[in-house]
Amino acid sequence: MTETAKKLQIALYWGAACGGCDVAVLDTNEFILDVAAIADIRLWPIAVDGKYADVEAMEDGELDLVLFNGAVRNSENEHIAKLLRRKTKLMVAFGSCAHIGGIPGLANRFTKEQIFETAYLDNPSIEPGNCTVPLPETHVAAGALDIPYAYKRVYKLDDIVDIDYYVPGCPPAPHQIKAVLLAIATGNLPAKGSVVGASNRTVCDDCKRERAEKKIKKFYRPWQILQDSSKCLLEQGIVCAGSATRSGCGVRCPNSNMPCRGCYGPAPHVKDQGAKIISALASIIDSKDPQEIDRILEDIPDVMGYAYRFGLPASLLQRRV
Amino acid sequence: MSGFEPKIVGFLCNWCSYTGADLAGTSRIKYSSNLRVIRTMCSARIDPTFVLKALLEGADGVLICGCHPGDCHYVEGNYKAMRRYPLLKKLLDDFGIENERVQLEWVSASEGRRFAEVVDKLTEQIRELGPCRVRSGLALDMAER
Amino acid sequence: MARTIKIDPITRLEGHGKIEIFLNDDGGVDDCYFQIPELRGFERFVVGKPIEELPRIVTRICGVCPASHHMASAKAVDGCFGGEIAPVAKKLREMYYQAHYIHSHIAHFYALAAPDFVCGPDCDPATRNILGVVGKVGLEIGGAVIKARAMAQDIQTILGGRATHVVWCIPGGVSKGLTQAELDRIKPMADQLYDFTLFSLQLFRDVVLGNPGYVDLILNGPFTLNVHNMGLVDANNAPNFYDGQVRVVDYEGKEIVRYEPKDYFHHVAEHVEPWTYLKFPYLKQRGWHGFTEGIDSSIYCATPLSRLNVADRMATPRAQEAFEEMFSVLPQKPCRALLAQHWARLVEMVQNAEVLKNFCADPEITSPDYRVVPQNITGEGVGIVEAMRGTLTHHYTCDDKGICTSANLIVGTTNNNAPIQMVTKKVAQALIQPGVEVTQGVLNRIEMAFRAFDPCYSCATHTLPGQMPLEARIFQGGALRNVLKQNL
């Protein structure tokens, strides 16, 4: 007696996102056809026509898998995250934004009011004399219109819903996405809460550049020197987060001759990626004189931006006080 | 702020600063009781994570103490703290944490009185600043958006 | 009792959006609103960052057109360094950009747009997608589509190190050059892509132009607006996606204005409505006069069709043939039939492929001098490129240490916010009539209006509006139902 295997029911959704994670899924190329052979994609706004009403009509747990990319920035992001969590057996925080807050998380350094001012008031392109701002509810002649309420800060996904697995990266490398989907399809997953689709090493471990000794008397911005592309960037005085960043990306930025900025998040067991990055930078300063140390550090502007480029909401302090 | 008593976490290195603090005690020097001491073997052990965690857990301030430069029991450990500290301060400034809340001081084994003065001064500065809003702010973030 | 129809979320596009349709008592459309609920705050949170970091931060405005932001940003950063850049870097960037266009146009045409034409606008939503298209055209063609887009992504990866979220442009040039070995890998792919662009045009002829119903929809349907057109052109008035002057032409073919990037803010301003987070650019000199068509309108489109509308010719020969063919079929030039954007996109792709091949044949392209160390920080720059979805402007200022002090962005899709609002309403009013059953196919046809623009709402909503102290009073049927206060 044979039983036709039931197709997996899956959904891909985006919060405060850019679409890069969805493109990364498409970048698995022919593999997407293999996925379609074993799964029904019930919601994936970039590519299929499933609507929220279709999700609301599902039974709880009807979905086998949700890949949620993007951070939580407004009431709609939260509402749909919670809706999907109810309707699915497994929920995966997919990509940097869902995992650690991502680039949108940089907004946590500012207040909503400051961001609003830049967008709608103090802006060279705004209609002269503009006083209008978007509101959660507007009354027009025909009726009432609503838009999501903008939160005062960015949250990563597991601040809002319980998460089963994390797939890091901005975006996750397509070969890693394939590996994760295969693992899920074959039921071959590690303990709940694990980071999957990445290694347990750091980018520095996987980087092919030569490493000798790091003794820095001066830090350089990437454009200030013509770097040696065979040698460690940090050793040349260019700030690189590779030593404090989980690997799995294929070292794609240093291989482009640009420093790592940490998109795969902290190395295993590390609670705060930025603390490790600043520790690493401090440890290579070649000085015992406090004044000289201060002068050397003047060449690192925007410390928070290097420490938490992708993971500000995931840091211990999460946002500016 | 009336009635507010700061909670300050103190990371003291075993060889100099913890001994100095001990000396303040055995000398019966009175000083503010706001400091909660955590002893590490060397100031080099202080990962910036510890400072951030202390603030996250509700500390209003953090004091890091080590041996005077040149006197480190492990020869160069305190230089590592010396390099890490200014970067940490810049980071804390970016987070909006007031400058006085986290401080680094070199305290030798014989500086019992000095240790007491350091703690008193820090406590008074933080008492004036008021509570650190990290923990209460994040609790509010989870309660309302 | 009036009721509403909500399309939420809109699908087969990049980004978040919804359409709210208000019906009047007899079942016709009273009004229709196209709302964007997204927001993030890029213009604010890049302030204080080292200016060279911006090109690799602003790519995250959009994952479908990250290189558009990367290039516009790099050009604005170039300006902040006095325009000092290695000459071959400009060629390399423009070469990369052609491959980027091809990836995005393939993705849009085959994955986002084609389902409506290959599967049909009324077909079961569960199959009205790329998988349904592959099911209909067969695995051989489906495989060729996937392979072509993969090649476009591969070319970007070989050339610039990464496709999505490239980190390549740097003050003074680019961070890596092209070796002969890398060029030898790109060349055959560029040739295959050229063939694929011609194949795509033929598919369009067969599937769309060969179907009288679709031709009628394009030429005679309600998907038309009498508004103006904007695009980047070179000195010959041919489209150049990477560089040039911005040209605005009215729908009767008369040039309204032509400007250098640095003068953008004299000519474009942005209007705000309270019911959407996305702003509405308009022609500043004419002022905002609401969502109105007409020869004096201040509303313009910036789309593939607009780019071809403002151009007098294409920059390459085979694309020129395709351009002439298109305008011989369309009733006029400038063409106002917005569904023709799908065709314009495929015509553009031919130029992308030809330009890519030209760069492959350029002996300078493998030069090792792809970077210089800039000597001066001059503090301000404006970079304009044509994003696949419209004219993209990045304007930055920085201090004497090269730290960003301000950023202003007018993004591709944002240009089209007003036209999309207007055509969505027009189509809704035309298709939802008293007595007509509102099927999912009808709603999908309403969605086809915005879909032709290939919108990118992550791009458009880089900003976060925040909240002002405000009181909003909600009325229903004349009675006060609710009072909402915020920050009061």
Report the phi/psi class of residue C485: left, alpha or beta, with left for phi > 0 and alpha for psi in -120 to 50. Answer: beta
Quote the DSSP letter at residue C393: E
The identity of residue C355, as a single letter, is: V
Compute the distance between CA of residue C394 and CA of residue C331 in angstroms, rounded to an integer. 35
Instruction: Search chain B and give the residue with CA nearest A304.
Output: B91
pLDDT the model gives residue C457: 85
pLDDT the model gives residue C2: 57
pLDDT the model gives residue C139: 92
A56 contacts in C (CB within 8 Å)? none
pLDDT in tens, C26-52: 999 999 999 999 889 999 999 999 999
Question: C314 to chain A nearest CA, in Å?
Answer: 29
More confident residue, A163 or A187: A163
Question: A136 to chain B nearest CA, in Å?
Answer: 14
Check if the beta carbon of residue C17 is closer than 8 Å to that of residue C29.
no
pLDDT the model gives residue C474: 61
For chain C, positions 152-211, list CB contacts with chain A under 8 A. 153, 160-168, 170-172, 175-176
> How many angstroms separate the most distant Cα atoms in chain C?
74
Instruction: Search chain A and give the residue with CA nearest C124.
Output: A49
pLDDT in tens, C122-134: 999 999 999 999 9
Across the interface, of C57, C163, C408, the residue whose CB is closest to A125 is C408
pLDDT the model gives residue B2: 67
Does the beta-carbon distance from B86 to A293 stay under 8 Å? Answer: yes
Please give the mean pLDDT across all residues of chain A: 95
Using N-to-C axis directions, what is the helix angle for B48-56 and B134-143, rounded to 10°? 60
A222 contacts in C (CB within 8 Å)? 52, 170, 175
Predicted confidence (pLDDT) at residue C469 exceeds the cutoff of 50: no
Does the beta-carbon distance from B94 to A317 stay under 8 Å? Answer: no
Determine how β-strand A8-14 pairs with β-strand A39-43.
parallel
- Rounded to two decimals, what is the model's pTM? 0.94
pLDDT band per the 50, 70, 90 thresholds, residue C20: very high
Q: Both tokens of residue C19?
A: 């359409």
C-alpha distances (whole Å) from C169 to each of C50, C76, C347 are 14, 11, 28
pLDDT band per the 50, 70, 90 thresholds, residue C481: low
Check if the beta carbon of residue C31 is closer than 8 Å to that of residue C425.
yes
C203-229 residues labelled b (16+ CB within 10 A) or e (exposed)? bbeebbbeeeebeebbbebbbbbebbb
> Average pLDDT in the A51-74 region?
97
Q: Return all residues near B106 (Cβ < 8 A) that are at least 6 apart.
A: B16, B17, B65, B66, B67, B68, B69, B78
| Long-range residue pairs from B54-58, CB within 8 A, at least 24 positions apart, any chain | B54/B9, B55/A316, B55/A317, B55/B97, B55/B101, B55/B102, B55/B132, B55/B134, B55/B135, B56/A316, B56/A317, B56/B134, B56/B135, B56/B138, B57/B135, B58/B7, B58/B132, B58/B135
pLDDT in tens, B48-75: 999 999 999 999 999 999 999 999 999 9
pLDDT in tens, C191-207: 999 999 999 999 999 99
A229 contacts in C (CB within 8 Å)? 176
A272 contacts in B (CB within 8 Å)? 48-49, 52-53
Instruction: Search chain A and give the residue with CA nearest C465.
Output: A116
Predicted confidence (pLDDT) at residue C107 exceeds the cutoff of 90: yes
* φ, ψ dihedrals at C208, nearest 5°: -100, -55
C333 to chain A, any CB pair closer than 8 A? The answer is no
Instruction: Search chain C and give the residue with CA nearest A114.
Output: C44
- Best residue in C6, C16, C168 to probe A by mutation, most A CBs within 10 Å? C16
Using N-to-C axis directions, what is the helix angle for C87-106 and C341-360, rounded to 10°? 140
More confident residue, C464 or C480: C480
A109 contacts in C (CB within 8 Å)? 45, 48
C410 contacts in A (CB within 8 Å)? 125
Check if the beta carbon of residue C223 is closer than 8 Å to that of residue C427.
yes
Across the interface, of A18, A26, A125, the residue whose CB is closest to C61 is A18
Q: Both tokens of residue C53?
A: 């970091």
A193, exposed or middle or buried, with CB in 10 Å at 0-12, 13-18, 19+? exposed
pLDDT the model gives residue C475: 58
1.10.645.10, 1.20.120.1200, 3.40.50.720, 1.10.3470.10: which CATH number matches C4-460? Answer: 1.10.645.10
pLDDT the model gives residue A124: 87
Percent of chain C with pLDDT over 70: 94
How far separated are the first and last CA of chain C, in Å rounded?
34
C418 closest CA partner among C241, C273, C236: C273
Question: B52 to chain A nearest CA, in Å?
Answer: 6
How far separated are the first and last CA of chain A, in Å rounded?
64
pLDDT the model gives residue C468: 40
Compute the distance between CA of residue B62 and CA of residue B47 in angstroms, rounded to an integer. 13
C375 to chain A, any CB pair closer than 8 A? The answer is no
How far separated are the first and last CA of chain B, in Å rounded?
28
DSSP string, A144-178: EEE-PPEEEEEE-GGGTS--SEEE-SSSPPHHHHH
C286 closest CA partner among C305, C307, C304, C271: C271
A316 contacts in B (CB within 8 Å)? 49, 52-53, 55-56
Interface chains of chain C (3 or more CB pairs under 8 Å): A
Does the beta-carbon distance from A275 to B47 stay under 8 Å? Answer: yes
* φ, ψ dihedrals at A34, nearest 5°: -65, -40
Q: Both tokens of residue C56?
A: 């690799």
Q: Both tokens of residue C462?
A: 């880089």
pLDDT the model gives residue A4: 52
> Average pLDDT in the A298-308 region?
97
C-alpha distances (whole Å) from C257 to each of C265, C389, C413 are 13, 20, 20
Residue B62: strand, helix, or coil: strand
Residue C268: strand, helix, or coil: strand
C-alpha dihedral, A26 to A32 to A33 to A39, nearest 10°:
-130
Please give the mean pLDDT across all residues of chain C: 93
Q: Both tokens of residue C135?
A: 């099911």
C-alpha torsion sign, points C287, C292, C297, C302: positive
Residue written as token pair 């002969």: C180
Q: Quick one: how far is CA A211 from the chain centroid?
A: 28
Check if the beta carbon of residue B44 is closer than 8 Å to that of residue B96.
no
pLDDT the model gives residue A84: 98
pLDDT band per the 50, 70, 90 thresholds, residue C461: confident
Predicted confidence (pLDDT) at residue C60 exceeds the cutoff of 80: yes
Q: Return all residues near B24 (Cβ < 8 A) that are at least 6 apart.
A: B31, B112, B113, B115, B116
Check if the beta carbon of residue A71 is closer than 8 Å to that of residue B138.
no
Size of interface A-B (CB pairs under 8 A): 91
pLDDT the model gives residue A117: 85
C175 contacts in A (CB within 8 Å)? 222, 256-258
Report the phi/psi class of residue B70: left, alpha or beta, with left for phi > 0 and alpha for psi in -120 to 50. Answer: left
Instruction: Search chain C and give the residue with CA nearest A170.
Output: C165
C-alpha distances (whole Å) from A221 to each of A224, A232, A237, C403 are 5, 15, 8, 11
DSSP string, C203-247: HHIIIIIT-HHHHHHHHHSS-B---EEEEEE-TTS-B-SSSSEEE
Predicted confidence (pLDDT) at residue C485 exceeds the cutoff of 60: no
pLDDT the model gives residue C463: 54
Within C239-284, where are the H helices? 264-267
C318-343 residues labelled b (16+ CB within 10 A) or e (exposed)? bbbebbeebbeebeebbbbbbbbbbb
pLDDT band per the 50, 70, 90 thresholds, residue A22: very high
Residue B64: strand, helix, or coil: strand
Across the interface, of B52, B87, B95, the residue whose CB is closest to A321 is B95
Across the interface, of A26, A48, A107, the residue whose CB is closest to C45 is A107
Q: Where are the domains of chain C?
A: 4-460
List of domains in chain A: 8-104+152-185 (3.40.50.700), 109-151 (no CATH), 203-307 (no CATH)
pLDDT the model gives residue B67: 97
Predicted confidence (pLDDT) at residue A208 exceeds the cutoff of 80: yes
Residue written as token pair 């600063």: B17
Size of interface A-C (CB pairs under 8 A): 321
Half-sphere exposure of C424 (CA within 13 A, CB side): 27
Instruction: Search chain B and give the residue with CA nearest A320.
Output: B95
The identity of residue A36, as a single letter, is: A
C189 contacts in A (CB within 8 Å)? none
Q: Both tokens of residue A222?
A: 């990437």
pLDDT the model gives residue C438: 92
Q: Which top CATH class is B8-143?
A: alpha beta
* φ, ψ dihedrals at C281, nearest 5°: -65, 150
CB atoms within 10 A of CB C367: 16
Compute the distance between CA of residue C260 and CA of residue C207 in angstroms, rounded to an integer. 40
Across the interface, of A275, A293, A302, the residue whose CB is closest to B83 is A293
Predicted confidence (pLDDT) at residue C477 exceeds the cutoff of 70: no
A293 contacts in B (CB within 8 Å)? 82-83, 86
Question: A191 to chain C nearest CA, in Å?
Answer: 30
Residues with pLDDT less than 70, chain B: 1-2
